[in-house]
Homo-oligomer: A and B are copies of this chain.
């Protein structure tokens, strides 16, 4: 399915958010990752100018946000909900890792609307709210400092959603191939460079052909690894030639 459509099927549900600024930050985080359906369960203060300020260009999400009185209402019409929870709750769904949980969420989104559910900034989700969710997820953090704020938590999970939705389509850049600016040097051009370098090193006394050691293999390894371009071979040979003119070993004609 089209990744954008998949992402559009994910609701972000905030339960009892205290700070309107956080609601704005959540809207911005969602929109950067292509999510757009925000649900607010009993927000303390909404709408609010601070929410608009923090949302910057994502005010449209705030304007379309649905405010409900219960999590059940916010989940109506969806088929699968994942709760963000830092700790395992009694009877609650087993807490999963982000990558696996988000993959499952997107698999469900192929068929219907789904939801990511976040609790209040201070107290999190109630046990009852957790029980409305079919899965739970924790964001792995430093055990000595796990203070992710609401906007950051939403940012991380929305990022995971986008990565998962667009996976299976690795962009060309991901192949680790450096795009060439000039054509790749041919093997013989690289050989020409290595030979030129050997001449210069011999002339200057840096290299003694009678006692070669591992110098030439090391240079060969380096230039083999670098995947030289023609342009670069020409520059390096230009430098070498310029030192030869100075030392009197350059081409005379």
Contacts and interface: CB of A to CB of B under 8 A. Distances in A.
A76 interface: no
Interface string A22-43: 0000001101111000000000
Nearest to A36: B142
Could you tell me the dominant secondary structure of chain A's interface residues? Answer: helix
A79 to B, nearest CB: 15
**Chain copies in the assembled complex:** 2
Contact of A179 (B94, B166, B173): B94
Nearest to A221: B181
Interface residues of A, number: 70
Interface stretch (A63-71, A108-116, A120-128, A201-209): A201-209
Contacts of A28: 147, 149
A49 interface: no
Contacts of A215: 235
A186 interface: no
Interface in A199-248: 200-201, 203-206, 215, 218-219, 221-222, 225-228, 231-232, 235, 238-239, 242-243, 245-247
Contacts of A166: 140
A131 interface: no
B31 A145 contact: yes
Contacts of A231: 218
Given A94-B179, A96-B174, A204-B245, 6 more contacts: A96-B176, A97-B170, A197-B239, A218-B231, A219-B235, A246-B247
